[in-house]
Amino acid sequence: MSILSALKISRRPAAAFVVVGLFWGCFAAYVPVIKAQLDVNDALFGTLLLGSATGLVSSMWLAPKADKVLGARSMQVGIILLSLVWLLPAQVTVPVVFAATMGLVGMASGLLDVVMNARVSELEAKHNRPLMNANHAMFSVAYAAAATITGLAREAEITPLFVFAGFSAFSVLMAPFLRMEVAKVDADADTSGDYPLWPILMAGFIVLVAFMSEATVEAWSALHIERTLGGGAAEGALGPAMLGFTMAFGRFSGQAISERVRDVTVVVCAATISATGAIIAALAVSPMMAYVGFGVLGLGVSVIGPIGLALVGRIVKPHLRTEAISKAAVLGFSGFFFAPVLMGLVSEAYGLRVAFGCVAALIMIAVPLAITVGRMPRADGKP
């Protein structure tokens, strides 16, 4: 019941998480098709995805300002922008133009990411309970569903533009229901002290490690199954879908666990589980073994990012919450774009098996980061 209660409290930002998940799940399943359209190698394709990171970094400054101007309509505007820009990379065949359109995707996605996470953090403070995992679980559910639908669309040889357009129409129809008033918080009378940049960066790096690990599976799992293991289009699309389903389960479970277990303990256990999954995927000799690896990885990594973002909202003063989450979120979500670049370079040089092995080492970096942030005092003075 705690999960349903959490989703009821945060139903509007949860819907925004669904929208973001739909588009990224669709993109992940269409990666082999889009890469073929561009006719580029692994290293160049990963580099082209860096265009998204450029747009995402821009949103670090754009999102807090846009949130102040748009107020209650921030999520609505973000969803409409994201729905429109995703129609561009779906039909591009020129590499440079693809990178530019992905820059627009990164900017729109970053804006919505920051705003919806800030709304969840405000609700956490208002209701004094964790809500991040439940909301991020909705992203995973939508991501898995979109990847599955897209896999069927690929089998039917439906072009990416039509599928993205269908998700865009659905998302725009949801926008009118996502108006949400912003919490009015005045700065504390005592605003002395240094700006909490270091705690924000530490928590942001936790999110970065988690999302970089997640992004490698999203962008390269279909290729690993189809190219390394000889799977078909539907089998390839099931790779990111498996990640999404297990991440959804992990985050829903994490919602209940986070109300009873310390965040640091959860991160240590989750990192160990997800690293094990990455190793299984790297050593896979069949698509089924790869599915198990991706599933175990998703189960573990699912809770690390949301916990990192939740920690940001707790260790800074309320009037700094949106700005702090903006910085941490942009740092974290940049992992979705830097990871494919690094993955492409490693894959080109050593193959996808080695690249997924590197993911296992990356995930474990979250452990010392979480221990450090867990020792920092909360803004509300609670232990």
| 129-145: pLDDT as tens digits | 888 888 888 988 898 88
- For residues 112 and 339, the model is more confident at 112
Q: Which of 14-23, 103-112, 261-270: highest mean pLDDT? A: 14-23
- For residues 17 and 330, the model is more confident at 17
Mean pLDDT of 4-17: 89
- Integer Cα distance of 311 and 305 in angstroms: 10
Confidence of residue 259 (pLDDT cuts 50, 70, 90): confident
Tens digits of residue pLDDT in 183-210: 665 555 445 555 677 878 888 888 888 8
End-to-end CA, the chain: 26
In a domain, residue 186? The reply is: no
Tens digits of residue pLDDT in 163-183: 999 999 999 999 999 998 876
Looking at the predicted structure, is the pLDDT value of residue 34 above 70? Answer: yes
Write out the residue range of the structural domain in which residue 155 sits: 2-181+196-374
In a domain, residue 379? The reply is: no
Tens digits of residue pLDDT in 37-77: 888 887 788 778 777 777 877 776 787 788 888 888 999 99
Mean pLDDT of 319-332: 76
Q: What pLDDT score was predicted for residue 190? A: 46
In a domain, residue 89? The reply is: yes
Mean pLDDT of the chain: 83
DSSP string, 34-68: HHHHHT--HHHHHHHTHHHHHHHHHHHHHHHHHHH
Looking at the predicted structure, is the pLDDT value of residue 291 above 60? Answer: yes
Measured CA distances, 176 to 72, 79, 109 (Å): 11, 10, 18
- Integer Cα distance of 41 and 35 in angstroms: 8
In a domain, residue 345? The reply is: yes
By percentage, how much of the chain surpasses pLDDT 70? 93
Give the CA angle between residues 85, 86, 91 to the nearest 5°: 105
- Integer Cα distance of 287 and 299 in angstroms: 18
Q: How many CB atoms are closer than 10 A to CB 350?
A: 12
The tokens describing 315, both together, are 């260790």
By percentage, how much of the chain surpasses pLDDT 90? 20
Separation of CA 317 from chain center? 25
- For residues 80 and 253, the model is more confident at 80
In a domain, residue 54? The reply is: yes
What's the CATH code of the domain at 170? 1.20.1250.20
Q: How many CB atoms are closer than 10 A to CB 44?
A: 17
Whether 312 contacts 373, CB under 8 Å: no
Name which of 50, 244, 243, 225 is nearest 154 in CA terms. 225
Q: What pLDDT score was predicted for residue 166? A: 94
In a domain, residue 381? The reply is: no
In a domain, residue 358? The reply is: yes
Whether 120 contacts 132, CB under 8 Å: yes
Mean pLDDT of 261-280: 89
Q: What pLDDT score was predicted for residue 164? A: 94
- For residues 362 and 236, the model is more confident at 362
Task: State the total domains in the chain.
Answer: 1
Go through 179-218 and write b for each residue having 16 or more CB atoms within 10 A of its CB, e for each that does not. ebebeeeeeeeeeeeeebeebbbbbbbbbbbbbbbbbbbb
Q: What pLDDT score was predicted for residue 332? A: 79
In a domain, residue 85? The reply is: yes
- Please list the alpha-helical segments (H only) found in the chain: 2-9, 11-38, 42-48, 50-70, 74-85, 95-127, 132-155, 160-174, 197-223, 233-257, 263-283, 287-301, 304-315, 321-333, 335-350, 352-364, 366-374
The tokens describing 167, both together, are 């998700």
The residue whose two tokens read 């942030």 is: 373
Give the pTM: 0.74
- For residues 336 and 315, the model is more confident at 315
Whether 171 contacts 79, CB under 8 Å: yes
What is the Cα Rg of the chain in Å?
19
Confidence of residue 375 (pLDDT cuts 50, 70, 90): confident
Residues in the chain, how many? 383
Q: Which region among 246-250, 272-276, 361-365 has the lowest average model confidence (pLDDT)? A: 246-250
